[in-house]
Amino acid sequence: MIEEKIEIPEGVTVDVKGMQITAKGPKGELTRIFKAYETTIEKNGNTIIVKGQKLALARTIKSLINSMCIGVKEGFEKHMKVVFSHFPITLTVKNNKLEIKNFIGEKNPRFAKIEPNSELIIKGQDVTVKGIDKYAVGQTAANLLIATKIRKLDPRVFQDGIYPALE
């Protein structure tokens, strides 16, 4: 039997009910249900113990719980940059979607989904994706990248899009 231990950081409370984990912290609350066979999750004081038959599965669950703890305490951020050469791109947030207008001079707008538990902050050509859920922040950033993918044109010439910022 393999055991992986996770220390709960200060300011974060974690509740374990079977395979359902709830992490609460200053930034918010996250709940996740793990569907892992031959694996158990226990709480012992200020430590969470993941026991299982397979090392890869136990370490994956450990990493996901650790990300939940970091997210509710500090949060996650991805910085992105809007790049255009000839046609200025206009970004507007509507409901849970980002509307991208005038991309490469296209008449129809493109849309990128904003995942729940993440928010978008647009300041000029800088776009910041923030949230407490690491998956939601990363998926929202990926949705922005995919929505501005250039098809049927030479990407060496048309380098317009929304890209991860170099930090």
Q: Write down which residue in 40, 73, 106 finishes a domain.
A: 73
The partner residues of 115 in beta bridges, in order of sequence, read none
Domain ranges, residue 64: 2-73
- Enter the pTM of the model: 0.89
Give the CATH number of the domain where residue 35 resides: 3.90.930.12
One domain for residues 69 and 84? no
Residues 61 and 95 in one domain: no
Q: Quick one: tokens of 53?
A: 């038959």
**For residue range 102-133, what is the model confidence (pLDDT) as tens digits?**
999 999 999 999 999 899 999 999 999 999 99
How far apart are alpha carbons 11 and 101 in whole angstroms? Answer: 42
Of the candidates 109, 70, 67, the residue with the CA atom closest to the CA atom of residue 87:
109
Task: Let me know whether 41 and 101 are in one domain.
Answer: no
93 shares its domain with 66: no
Q: Give the tens place of pLDDT for each residue, 4-38.
A: 999 999 999 999 998 999 999 999 999 999 988 88
- Whether residues 160 and 80 share a domain: the answer is yes
* The predicted structure's pLDDT at residue 167: 67
| 85/68 same-domain check | no
118 in the same domain as 107: yes
What average pLDDT does range 82-107 have in this prediction?
92
User: Do 84 and 153 reside in the same domain of the chain?
Assistant: yes
Last residue of a domain, one of 36, 53, 73: 73
Domain end, chosen from 26, 47, 73, is at 73
56 and 128, same domain (yes or no): no
Asked if 144 and 104 sit in the same domain, the reply is yes
Give the number of domains in the chain: 2
